[in-house]
Structure 1
């Protein structure tokens, strides 16, 4: 299949926000989507900003310090305004070049490498409209393009539905945690003589069924009789992550913002991951397999083999608010170890809770594994755009 110059198929659009008609200010992520702009627009003249409409492409021509990627996205929502330094273009004839097909081409890692290679400048490098117009790509018939787009979007929709299911399952687990350990409605029945732990196995909701509550002076509120205030270190052993090894493999490397790459070594297994510094300080992830935790994250190892309870506990603590520093928040082992947490009078309640939520997290794991396969299928489809091949779903 022959390659065509993109410049023959697109038109640059330059429309400024005269009269401040549009108020929605958006930025463009290097992950190829629109996001809320970080710019403080108080007192800013918005008439100088550029307007982007439906099915128009917006890209940040500056490629310096952008993670070896170019920030470009296809506008699918309402009209918005973007930085005056951004560039905007649209497809000249959508019956010849499908905008979503073109966006798929821009999503390919090969395009990012091309854009970085073609960027120019000294202190700051740019990939501008002139370079964009020189991009070459295969343009099959519009029918083929539509088929490819349909195939890709079908996979994307499956991934999105799966993500929504996982979010609901995790929300269910978090709601159950609140029901048991915040509202104190864990199942309880008076223990029988000679078997003091019976009551934690089944029964009615503790507090609303008349379970004894006592005032705790440290917390300034009532808690179940026999419970006390402990420290996070009673539940979780906190350790530092390490600089990642210089290797490639299939073991995920976790930073504060989730998986950042893959290596062939692990330094921890089956634990929670806590963002230690910066924008993702206080973020929490769980993982029940082998992983590498980087030096911008902390390992939270369960002391009681209750990884999922610990994850929900950590999520409930709003860890970012407990960090040191303002412009660069930081969490340390000392800070985390000394956070006050409520402790039940025995471990049975934690074991029973873990048994229940483990089923929910097992469902999440199965769905996440499906999404990993689907994501690889997406990547394969993108890689085959260059030769016009299709991928069976």
Structure 2
């Protein structure tokens, strides 16, 4: 496949984003956030965040098809210059000040193609080379960015490569949609039975203080056989070496673990050290205890190539409850609110393990729990299947992307 070498500075102009105080956010016009840039190959079709801007700001910091957004600063070199590309014009929208916008000045790049290219290992190597000597917080300068040379095939080939990769994106998006629907169905069932108290036979049950009299008041600690955390790399191991994933809160998206290029890497010795503390296995639950508190994930299979940081708690149910019940309990608003209310810290809030263990709840009777498990387990089993598909499509795209872009896989013009 014939490639042309082009400097980024010959393809794009570079400018910084909008910086305003907190008082300006929450109302006004659409706004592309830092998080959206970091978590998406392409700008979402609908921007839900809002900011108050005037006409001059909306013109200066506008978002148009073909614009590329890169985060310009990061705690680590690995996360610097993560890209997100606009596939459509976003009237009246602006973008955040922690990003740089690359606006096309030449008609040589297909936006869908460059969205994949800039996330590929081929391009990330260029970015890491720029930041390799940085000791403190990594930052991206315009002259560094515009001097990078990239390889471009013809526009026809760009379209073909983008179309192939887009099929994987569609399958990944479909999996995410199915996951969200299955999770909502399971949570709705939990709320109906244990929040609204409309479990089978509730009409014939005597209540006291809002709960059936045969339900037991217990703590979270009473229904867990293990409560642990992962391990901090400080004095224990070094990040950035090996082929295993080091999972932190940022990799616990919604209600599942995402193993992708944004995960830090660790070697086999680090995995062994962490697992002596976390002892992760299938059926355990993860609960984020620091920073973004209350994210939850159910572990479907024994982890082989990943483990967790000390910011994540691992909970194992005992014989009194199932993993499915504990999973839905941790997602419920009562324990989520409890975790937020009992978090401490000034710079970064967190809940202590002892505090989380002390959360009080009413445990349903064994018969009710058995009936509930029989209904909810099929949802969780289906979730397990869809998660496997999601992982397969995501990994396949990651493997295919650099091979297509480098020309290792031939594509006819």
TM above 0.5, yes or no, is yes
Q: 1:232 aligns with which of 206, 220, 239?
A: 220
Preserved CA contact (<8 Å) 1:5 1:137:
yes
Q: Which residue of 2 aligns with 1:382?
A: 401
Offset from partner CA, 1:201-226 (integer Å, 9 cap, x none):
xxxxx23xx3233231xxxxx32242
Structure 2 CA distance, aligned partners of 1:242 and 1:6?
43
Q: 1:25 aligns with which of 31, 44, 47?
A: 31
Q: Which residue of 2 aligns with 1:101?
A: 113
TM-aligned CA distance change 1:178 to 1:64, over 3 Å: closer
Structure 2 CA distance, aligned partners of 1:85 and 1:275?
26
Q: Which residue of 2 aligns with 1:198?
A: none
How far residue 102 of structure 1 moved from its aligned partner, in angstroms, is 1.2
Offset from partner CA, 1:114-157 (integer Å, 9 cap, x none):
22322588866543343333322332222211111011111001
Q: Which residue of 1 aligns with 2:67?
A: 56
TM-aligned CA distance change 1:290 to 1:124, over 3 Å: closer
How far residue 107 of structure 1 moved from its aligned partner, in angstroms, is 0.5
Moved more, 254-263 or 305-314: 254-263
Q: What does residue range 1-393 of structure 1 map to in structure 2 within 5 Å?
A: 1-7=2-8, 10-12=11-13, 23-28=29-34, 29-32=37-40, 47=57, 50-62=61-73, 65=76, 67-76=78-87, 78-79=90-91, 80-83=93-96, 86-94=99-107, 96-119=108-131, 126-187=139-200, 206-207=201-202, 210-216=203-209, 222-243=210-231, 246=237, 248=242, 253-257=246-250, 258=252, 259=257, 260=263, 264-265=271-272, 266=275, 267-269=279-281, 270-278=283-291, 280-291=292-303, 292-304=307-319, 306-316=322-332, 317-318=335-336, 319-325=338-344, 327=346, 328-344=348-364, 346-390=365-409
Preserved CA contact (<8 Å) 2:289 2:311:
yes
TM-aligned CA distance change 1:286 to 1:99, over 3 Å: same
Count of aligned residue pairs for this structure pair: 359
How far residue 162 of structure 1 moved from its aligned partner, in angstroms, is 0.7
Structure 2 CA distance, aligned partners of 1:366 and 1:303?
25
Structure 2 CA distance, aligned partners of 1:184 and 1:10?
61
TM-score normalised by L of structure 2: 0.75
Structure 2 CA distance, aligned partners of 1:159 and 1:229?
42
How far residue 378 of structure 1 moved from its aligned partner, in angstroms, is 0.9
Structure 2 CA distance, aligned partners of 1:387 and 1:134?
20
Query: Where do 5+ consecutive residues of structure 1 fail to align?
Result: 188-205, 217-221
How far residue 180 of structure 1 moved from its aligned partner, in angstroms, is 1.4
Structure with max Cα Rg: 1
Q: Which residue of 1 aligns with 2:21?
A: none
Structure 1 CA distance, aligned partners of 2:342 and 2:152?
52
How far residue 97 of structure 1 moved from its aligned partner, in angstroms, is 2.0
Structure 2 CA distance, aligned partners of 1:275 and 1:16?
31
Q: Which has the higher helix share?
A: 2
Preserved CA contact (<8 Å) 1:235 1:303:
yes
Larger RCO (CA under 8 A, 6+ residues apart): 2
**Coordinate RMSD, CA, aligned:** 3.6
TM-aligned CA distance change 1:391 to 1:299, over 3 Å: farther
Query: Where do 5+ consecutive residues of structure 2 fail to align?
Result: 19-23, 258-262
TM-score normalised by L of structure 1: 0.78
TM-aligned CA distance change 1:329 to 1:362, over 3 Å: same
TM-aligned CA distance change 1:27 to 1:240, over 3 Å: same
How far residue 74 of structure 1 moved from its aligned partner, in angstroms, is 1.0
